[in-house]
Structure 1
Amino acid sequence: MRYVRSVLSAAALAALTVGTTAALTAPASAAPNTTPQKVCGSSYKTVNSAAVGSLGTVYLTYNASNGKNCVATIRNTPGAVQEMSAWVGVPDTGEYDEDYGNYTSYAGPTYVYGKGHCVDWGGHIKNVHVQVTGTNCGALKENRVTFVR
């Protein structure tokens, strides 16, 4: 009888361990663990975005109180380290900021003063690059390019 209880206890413990592990494991298609506002700051509002293929999104945000733009590239599924970037520039003034490296979730923030100016911005995840030029400046038409290297 004692042997039966030990076997049953071990089986119950094994089932509990497997169930707990399954419950604590993140699903394969987990949602992003951040937002552009968490990366750039709560006063930055998203004004434009561009998909990085199926890997994520590059967000252009703007803070009306200080006139600054911020860019963040956010992966759809955080996980293993990937090469990523986020960048933003103002052609009129030559101001430019970039964040480039190996990240698990997002690249950025990158900031420039953009009030009253067109901005160029973009980023990449792995080998998919996005470049958006001449944006958020009134009547001018923006140019979007997505390419794989």
Structure 2
Amino acid sequence: MMKRRILSVAGALGMAGVVGVIGATPAAAAASTPEAACGSGYYVQESHTIGFDTTTNKPAARVSLLYNASSGNNCVVTMHINGYVGAANLTEAGILVQGGTWKRDKGTYSYYAGPVYASAAGKCVKYTGGIEYVSNGVFWDSYTSAFGHCG
């Protein structure tokens, strides 16, 4: 009797581990695009690459401004691209609604910073993104838009 319970507990724990791994996979895959990071109904309005790596001749990240017409919300995400996907780098995403204060997400991330959300009905927005990257040294590069996408 005792042996069966131990096996049952071990089996349940093993299944929980499998469920945990299976449950984590779609979430990781969902974060592979700005639209997936921001959520359902968001589409990219504008994006810019940042952090040009001279050793690979490729940018390190892309900052994107997204909008959801149903909710009226904006979203900003800075995603690692090329050889920086999976590498822990200081990364930032932010948005400023005209007349307000910056909302930012800045930290050491392996895939992306954000999403950062803001509602801007009747106002314009400015967005920013940055990444620390290596290219014959360690550098910080960022992009900050002018006010636009007024709604």
Within 1, Cα distance between the matches of 2:62 and 2:145? 12
Aligned to 2:117: 111
Q: Specify which of 69, 85, 93 is matched with residue 86 of structure 1.
A: 93
Structure 1 counterpart of 2:77, from 72, 96, 101: 72
Q: CA deviation at 1:108?
A: 0.2
More helix by share: 2
TM-score of the aligned structures, taking structure 1 as reference length = 0.66
Q: Which runs of 5+ in 2 are unaligned?
A: 1-30, 52-58, 133-139
Distance 2:47 2:149 in 1: 11
Determine what percentage of the aligned residue pairs are the same residue: 37
- Offset at 1:115? 2.6
User: Following superposition of structure 1 onto structure 2, how do residues 19-98 of structure 1 map, counting pairs within 5 Å?
Assistant: 34-53=32-51, 54-77=59-82, 78-92=85-99, 94-98=100-104
Deviations 1:89-117 (A, max 9, x none): 1123x153210100001000001102322
3-state secondary structure, aligned to 1:135: coil
Q: How many Å apart are 1:79 and its aligned residue? A: 2.2
Of the two, which has the highest radius of gyration?
1
Moved over 2 A (4+): none
TM-score, with length taken from structure 2: 0.65
- Between the two proteins, the alignment pairs up a number of residues equal to 105
Deviation at residue 38 of structure 1 after TM alignment:
1.2
Q: What do you get for the CA RMSD once the two structures are aligned?
A: 1.5
